[in-house]
Structure 1
Amino acid sequence: MCCQFFGKIDGVTSQKHCFNVHQGFVKTREVGEFLSGALAGAMSKAVLAPLETIRTRMVVGVGSRHIAGSFIEVVEHQGWQGLWAGNAINMLRIIPTQAIELGTFEWVKRAMTSSQEKWKKDGNPKIQFGDITLNFPLSWLSPVAVAGAAAGIAGTLACHPLEVVKDRLTVRPEEYTNLTVALSKIYKDGGVTGLYSGLAPTLVGMLPYSTCYYFMYDKLKRSYCVFKKKNSLSRPEMILIGAVSGLTASTISFPLEVARKRLMVGALQGKCPPNMAAALAEVIREEGIMGLYRGWGASCLKVMPNSGITWMFYEAWKDILLADRRVI
């Protein structure tokens, strides 16, 4: 598989040479998963940037409320390249984010599973605090859910400044004309803390999404393999299960995303709600309950293919980089 991906070397397909190259570079499972996440993120983002641009405009209430109308507005005012507005920063953001998220997810899942097995083997030992004895079985914790939450937190903390810059480039391109201008203006207006503006609501919105997203994918993947009596998914099956996982997670957490975007836009316009609860109340007051899902359709059009394609590329790269270590 490796050589089929990279092509021929000196006119002759050499599978042995390919595996020697990547085995010499990928020393550990963690490195392979980190690289697989980075490559998967870059590939998926390159083809889905226009949907991200339209989704962001609809969520924050810029221009048309419809997908087709928003698409036409962007092309008319900014040209075709406007569909890729902020894509450079998007690529800079998504590569480390996906690498950190997927690498963290895999590592924490293995660590939690190992801890549970050891805890069970030791007979669920009790924890003593003075006169208080606690029986704290780890069996009720889902390693996949914990790993999903950890992945979302790690990725957000590491890459939030890039998310801030990307939103500014997308929402106010006339003021934030490029990456350098955006970074300079944000830093001038708010210093380092300006790059982390909106971190708290972002984490609040990210936790349910990330937990559900990774939990759904892992469980659907394993359940499907058991049902079909197979060891792994085909590429189309990965895309489908990834898309369903993204749809479910996005639907559950979407009102929090709307509130986060409302806080971000409000800060730019000088009329920011004081907190996420106030932002949610403001949306309901102005647009009703359905306002909490404004832009949900566009979000699904972006999230579903992005999730499916990302998982497909990620699993494919793991097949290449970790061919001798693969487990489902």
Structure 2
Amino acid sequence: MAFESQSLKKETKYSGGGVCGDVYSMAILPKEVELEKEAAHPKFELRLQLPDLSQPLRDLSKKREVGEFLSGALAGAMTKAVLAPLETIRTRMVVGVGSRHICGSFLEVIEKQGWQGLWAGNAVNMLRIIPTQAVEFGTFECIKRAMTSTQEKWKQGESPKVQIGRVTLNFSISWISPVAVAGAAAGVVSTLLCHPLEVLKDRLTVSPEAYPSLSIAISKIYKEGGIAACYSGLSPTLIGMLPYSTCYYFMYEKVKKSYCRAKNKESLNRPEMLLIGALAGFTASTISFPLEVARKRLMVGALKGKCPPHMLAALSEVIQEEGLRGLYRGWGASCLKVMPSSGITWMFYEAWKDILLVQRHNL
């Protein structure tokens, strides 16, 4: 009996161990299944770590060139927002649409399109003026500094020399005005980059019925002539821009320096900037206005079904139709727009430069 009792205890012990083993197996079974599922369907995590650009952007924003570009963009945007109605009237009168008088043209636009018509094309005009003024003022400042620095180096004996036998030729650029060169370069560069926006703006302003929106205008212009149509009138624009831009920047810089020297001042106040800027715009516009008339004729000639083949043909056409006075048709409206625009632009530009450059360097 003792033997049987011990055997029974052993069987009971082994039997209990078996039960515990089954329970343990059931307990770990779900984890094994999860591991098998993960092995069959592995998870991949792709982590992209973008570089920290905050410091490079801060360093970039502190550069003088960036401040000048931003100042030009902000000045242009603020000026165009205020003077959009004058730009509309000026464009209509230059290309010969509607009344020949400023007041009559204003009333005509308001009767047909309401007050909103005075801001026709202003959306694309804002898109045009921001990059245009940024590039123009930024290029002007950069070229002016580069030319001035080069002149100073050449004066110190670093100018290039050419030896021809016993004759030595010294090249000098001291007779060249850095302001004039910088002004010409600013006009050319901004025109090459932003001319398609000028074409769009003129189409939307002159014929809002045919071009009711920006997207329709882009589509129609592209269908008419492809990419080349976006640069219609580029040659006369560049030719007209050279005297205008050169005179515009040259007049402002020279008059400003002469005035400050005469008054023993280091800088101009805001009203003085406004007046000198207006004078610079008036002079530049008067000199280059016939070329402006030809340029506008070429850019919107397709709307009337007759587009002169080149600038000389456009000038000849104007003279035949209206005489020499036709070359200055719309000049009054142009001055009405250009003078305040030029003055306000320079005033805003100098103000933004003080905020973005002078105050920043003093921190």
After superposition, the Cα gap between the structure-2 partners of 1:286 and 1:138, relative to the gap in structure 1 and judged at 3 Å, is same
2:265 equivalent in structure 1: 230
What corresponds to 1:278 in structure 2? 313
Write the distance in 1 (CA, Å) between the matches of 2:256 and 2:60: 29
Give the aligned CA root-mean-square deviation in angstroms: 1.9
The answer to whether structure 1 residue 241 and structure 2 residue 255 are counterparts is no
User: Where do 1:73-88 residues align within 5 Å?
Assistant: 73-88=108-123
Q: How does 1:195-234 map to 2 (within 5 A)?
A: 195-234=230-269
Aligned with residue 211 of structure 2, among 169, 176, 189: 176
Report the AA paired with residue 144 of structure 1. Answer: V
- 5+ residue gaps, structure 2, are 1-56
More RCO (CA 8 Å, sep 6+): 1
Q: Which amino acid counterpart does residue 93 of structure 1 have in structure 2?
A: R
Aligned residue number for residue 228 of structure 2: 193
Describe the SS at the equivalent of 1:323. helix
2:140, 2:186 within 8 Å by CA — same for their partners in 1? yes
One-letter amino acid of the counterpart of residue 65, structure 2: E
Q: What's the offset of the Cα at 1:198?
A: 1.1
Q: Are 1:304 and 2:339 matched, yes or no?
A: yes
Q: Which moved more, 1:243-252 or 1:177-186?
A: 177-186
Deviation string, structure 1 residues 129-188 (Cα, Å, up to 9, x no partner) = 999975431011100000000000111011000000001101111011111110111112
**TM-fit CA distance, 1:254:** 0.1
Match runs of 1:123-142 below 5 Å: 124-127=159-162, 134-142=169-177
Give the match's secondary structure for 2:343: helix
Letter of the structure 2 residue corresponding to residue 207 of structure 1? L
From 117, 127, 133, give the equivalent of 2:152. Answer: 117
**Residue type at the aligned position of 1:199:** L
Give matches, 1:249-268, under 5 Å.
249-268=284-303
TM-score by length of 1: 0.89
Q: In the alignment, does 2:315 pair up with 1:294?
A: no
CA deviation after TM superposition for structure 1 residue 277, in Å: 1.1
| Unpaired stretches in structure 1, ≥5 consecutive residues | 1-21
Q: Is the 8 A contact 1:23 1:321 kept in 2?
A: no
How many correspondences in the alignment?
305
CA 266–134 in structure 1, closer or farther in 2 if over 3 Å, else same = farther
- Is the contact made by 2:232 and 2:298 (CA closer than 8 Å) also made in structure 1? no
Q: Whole-Å Cα distance in 2 between the matches of residues 207 and 217 of structure 1?
A: 16
Instruction: Confirm or deny that 1:100 pairs with 2:135.
Output: yes
- Does residue 32 in structure 1 map to residue 67 in structure 2? yes
Aligned equivalents of 1:138 and 1:102: distance in 2?
A: 23
1:211-235 deviation digits (Å, cap 9, x = unpaired)? 0000000111111110100000000
Q: How does 1:47-86 map to 2 (within 5 A)?
A: 47-86=82-121
Moved more, 132-141 or 223-232: 132-141
